[in-house]
Chains A and B, each alone.
Chain A
Amino acid sequence: MVQTMSDPVRRATRIRRFPWPFTGDRYAYSANVEPAPGLRRTIVGEWGRTILDPDETYVAELAERRDILARDPSRHVELPHMRAASWDVLLWGLRELVGTDPAMTLDRQGDGYVWTNRRLGTCQAFRYGDDASLPMGPLMFLGSQIQEDIVLLDQREDRLWADAGCVTFASNWSMAFTAGMSFMEIHGPVPHDFADGAIPRAERFLMRLGAGQAYRRLNWTTTAGYRLDTALDSYADWGASRVRLADCDDFADVFHMRVEVQHLVRLPESGAILFLIRTYLLPLADILTVPEWRAQFASVLTHLPDDIIQYKGLAVLRPRLLAHLG
């Protein structure tokens, strides 16, 4: 589903709440983690007050996820030993929603819960740990209530393993392909001498996270069109649009900055690491309305090393981008 951003009010909101990824005029691949949540001001607005962000796109994005999962069930993967972690993340996520959005409540009596979500019109009673008490698995159910993509990492043998996930808005990767891989295997494609040691350091950091602790980081890349689903699984649907970016006429409207707000949480009961990915898209036309962002983006692009430029798929586009930003 390709959405348009024609409504000026929505457009202004989107710019104001966009998690702009640059703070200086250089970008280095690093662990860049910080405790979460925490309000972060940008030159035109703010983001990050809460871990989950059920914003004005909430209902539309969840409908899009439901359609993608119906079309391609492989976006949800769960190895059998992740059952406890899946229930753990469901409770964590629903509680987090309750603390974020007054339209949602969770009532408990022992192992019995009643979940009410007035934004979706959902009222669901379930019994903790009883798979038959939900209309779908607990991980899938949480995926139907939060916009964020969900990956669960099991910690064993001094490593992390991506053993479960419900991921419909992946940026150029595939949950089905990644399932069961170790943290190091997943990050194999990251260039620059294995990100100058940032990846192994990040894994050690995650393995030391204490129960309930939450951290976050930003990641950025680019997308052709307002398209959340750029998973490798659907490459046939979007690959060509990426190629057309090089010479399309409406470049500033089609080219989007794609920012992922990633949260890392040690789940309290299973001890699994939760990796949440929330995707925000902003067209170049909107970036051009903020002079500071325009200058920062130009400077970052100018200084990025060639292998990172290649990794982010910007080798062909850089001259065109710089011409717009300059």
Chain B
Amino acid sequence: MSAPAGDDLVLRVEQVVDVAPSIREFVLRPTEGEGLPSHVPGSHLVVACGDRRNAYSLTGEGHAPEAYRISVLHRPDGQGGSAWLHRVRPGHILRCGRPRDAFAPVATARHHLLIAGGIGITPFLSHLRAARRWGRRVSVLYAVAAGAPVPHHAELAALAGDGLRILRGRAAMQAAMDHALQTQVLGTHLYVCGPDGLMDSALALAQAHGWPEERCHAERFGGVDAAEGAPFTVRLHRTGRDIAVAADVSMLDALAAAGVEWPAMCRRGVCGECRMDAAGTILHRDLVLSPAERAAQSCLMPCVSRAEGVLSLDL
């Protein structure tokens, strides 16, 4: 049976392995039952790290895995999520979302060119596993700082074979990318993940060499739940009652929790069932309303849309 989507996974840290200086791999297993949901190559897991939620690429097998693997780079200048995870020891329980797919290989590609820098190699580990299973043609350009150990080197070599090239330093990588982006077979798709500078260079080179935009794919983390956003207040005009909508709940759920029943169907901003008249500064996120209706700021779909400050309802 399909598990209800959106439910959090509760995972136990089974193993912590240092795969390179400052990069730690975590092997996570379910606390109850066996087996975890399969995932699309390039998927990531949102992990609750103390009071932060960070996204990490799943690096293990995508087919009916018994455990998930993530590799985390410790960022001392970050916002604390990676530092928090690096203090985690085996046995620790982590709350995670379900795998999310935002960087999948394109099934019709004749060849897949993967360009990575540093920790940006992580989404490509699952790409490479799937490529091997399904017989997809793939090659990798991987930039690693001069003298530094190569994270996941043995695994990469085993998965990519002759298709793997390790480039040391910026100039070598730039030259390798320039050459590769001029010599691919027609129908190749490009995938880029790494530091912003590397991603920008790769995409600029691809553009300069005439690559169509639809064939260039870049992984930049930062997606949020459609229903999440800054907290705001809903004022029920007729009763004068205020209902607070917290950052991590939808307005529809906040209303339901406060005992205000409202019809809803898809809960994804597409069916239009929960359309609601309202006055205030509305932040529309649905796919139903026309531009004119949005601009009028007089109604919203509370399943996904939010507001700034106080939103007044005729209830």
Q: Which residues on A sit within 8 Å (CB–CB) of B63?
A: 111, 128-129, 269
A84-B107, A108-B64 known; A211 and B37 CB under 8 Å? yes
Contacting pair A215 B98 (CB below 8 A)? no
Q: Which residues on A sit within 8 Å (CB–CB) of B287?
A: 201, 204-205
Verify if A176 is at the interface (C-beta below 8 Å from B): no
Q: Which residues on A sit within 8 Å (CB–CB) of B98?
A: 210-212
CA distance A84 to B108 in the complex (A): 11
State the majority secondary structure of interface residues on B: loop
Contact of B270 among A37, A158, A202, A270 (CB under 8 A): A202
Verify if B172 is at the interface (C-beta below 8 Å from A): no
Of B149-157, B235-243, B260-268, the one touching chain A: B260-268
Contacting pair B107 A201 (CB below 8 A)? no
Q: Which residues on B sit within 8 Å (CB–CB) of A268?
A: 37-40, 99
Taking the closest CB of chain B, its distance from the CB of A213, in whole angstroms, is 4
Contacting pair A212 B3 (CB below 8 A)? yes
Of A31, A37, A96, A108, chain B has the most CB atoms within 10 Å of the CB of A31
Q: Which residues on A sit within 8 Å (CB–CB) of B104?
A: 271
Report the contact-size class of chain A (Cβ under 8 Å from the partner). 35 or more
Contacting pair A34 B266 (CB below 8 A)? yes
Verify if B77 is at the interface (C-beta below 8 Å from A): no
CA distance A51 to B3 in the complex (A): 12
CA distance A211 to B36 in the complex (A): 13
Q: Which residues on B sit within 8 Å (CB–CB) of A96?
A: 1-2
Verify if A157 is at the interface (C-beta below 8 Å from B): yes
User: Which of chain B's residues 22-41 have a Cβ closer than 8 Å to chain A?
Assistant: 37-40
Contacting pair B107 A156 (CB below 8 A)? yes
Contacting pair A211 B266 (CB below 8 A)? no
Contacting pair B2 A211 (CB below 8 A)? no
Contacting pair B6 A85 (CB below 8 A)? no
Verify if B200 is at the interface (C-beta below 8 Å from A): no
Q: Which residues on A sit within 8 Å (CB–CB) of B39?
A: 211, 268-269
Report the contact-size class of chain B (Cβ under 8 Å from the partner). 20 to 34
Q: Which residues on B sit within 8 Å (CB–CB) of A85?
A: 107
CA distance A32 to B270 in the complex (A): 9
CA distance A262 to B40 in the complex (A): 24
Verify if A35 is at the interface (C-beta below 8 Å from B): yes
CA distance A76 to B64 in the complex (A): 27
Contacting pair A215 B5 (CB below 8 A)? no
Q: Which residues on A sit within 8 Å (CB–CB) of B256?
A: none
Verify if B130 is at the interface (C-beta below 8 Å from A): yes
Verify if A319 is at the interface (C-beta below 8 Å from B): no
Q: Which residues on B sit within 8 Å (CB–CB) of A84?
A: 107, 130, 133-134
Taking the closest CB of chain A, its distance from the CB of B145, in whole angstroms, is 33
User: Which of chain A's residues 239-284 have a Cβ closer than 8 Å to chain B?
Assistant: 265, 268-272
Contacting pair A31 B107 (CB below 8 A)? no
Verify if B100 is at the interface (C-beta below 8 Å from A): yes
Q: Which residues on B sit within 8 Å (CB–CB) of A154?
A: 107-108
Contact of B100 among A82, A91, A156, A211 (CB under 8 A): A211
Contacting pair B1 A50 (CB below 8 A)? yes
Taking the closest CB of chain A, its distance from the CB of B305, in whole angstroms, is 15
Of all chain A residues, which has the CB nearest B270?
A205
Contacting pair B40 A270 (CB below 8 A)? yes
Verify if A81 is at the interface (C-beta below 8 Å from B): yes
Verify if B271 is at the interface (C-beta below 8 Å from A): yes
Contacting pair B270 A201 (CB below 8 A)? yes
Taking the closest CB of chain A, its distance from the CB of B207, in whole angstroms, is 17
Q: Which residues on B sit within 8 Å (CB–CB) of A202?
A: 270
Contacting pair B40 A35 (CB below 8 A)? no
CA distance A85 to B38 in the complex (A): 13
Of A156, A265, A268, chain B has the most CB atoms within 10 Å of the CB of A268
Contacting pair A211 B5 (CB below 8 A)? yes
Contact of B266 among A33, A50, A91 (CB under 8 A): A33
Contacting pair A208 B2 (CB below 8 A)? no
Taking the closest CB of chain B, its distance from the CB of A130, in whole angstroms, is 10
Of all chain B residues, which has the CB nearest A85?
B107
Contact of A211 among B43, B106, B108, B133 (CB under 8 A): B43
Contacting pair A33 B271 (CB below 8 A)? yes
User: Which of chain B's residues 262-298 have a Cβ closer than 8 Å to chain A?
Assistant: 265-268, 270-272, 287-288
Contacting pair B108 A81 (CB below 8 A)? yes
Contacting pair A270 B107 (CB below 8 A)? yes
Contact with A along B1-12 (1 / 0, CB 8 A): 111011000000
Verify if B214 is at the interface (C-beta below 8 Å from A): yes
Contact with B along A197-209 (1 / 0, CB 8 A): 0000110110010
Q: Which residues on B sit within 8 Å (CB–CB) of A82?
A: 107
User: Which of chain A's residues 16-49 have a Cβ closer than 8 Å to chain B?
Assistant: 30-35, 37
Contacting pair B271 A32 (CB below 8 A)? yes
Contact with B along A65-86 (1 / 0, CB 8 A): 0000000000000000111110
CA distance A34 to B98 in the complex (A): 20
Contacting pair A265 B2 (CB below 8 A)? yes
Contacting pair B62 A269 (CB below 8 A)? yes
Verify if B101 is at the interface (C-beta below 8 Å from A): yes
Taking the closest CB of chain A, its distance from the CB of B113, in whole angstroms, is 16
A-B contact pairs, 14 of them (CB 8 A): A30-B271, A30-B272, A82-B107, A157-B214, A205-B266, A211-B5, A211-B99, A211-B100, A212-B98, A213-B2, A213-B5, A268-B37, A269-B38, A270-B107
New A-B contacts (14) at CB < 8 Å, excluding given A82-B107, A84-B134, A201-B287: A31-B266, A32-B271, A33-B271, A34-B265, A35-B266, A37-B2, A83-B134, A84-B130, A129-B133, A154-B107, A204-B287, A205-B266, A211-B5, A213-B2
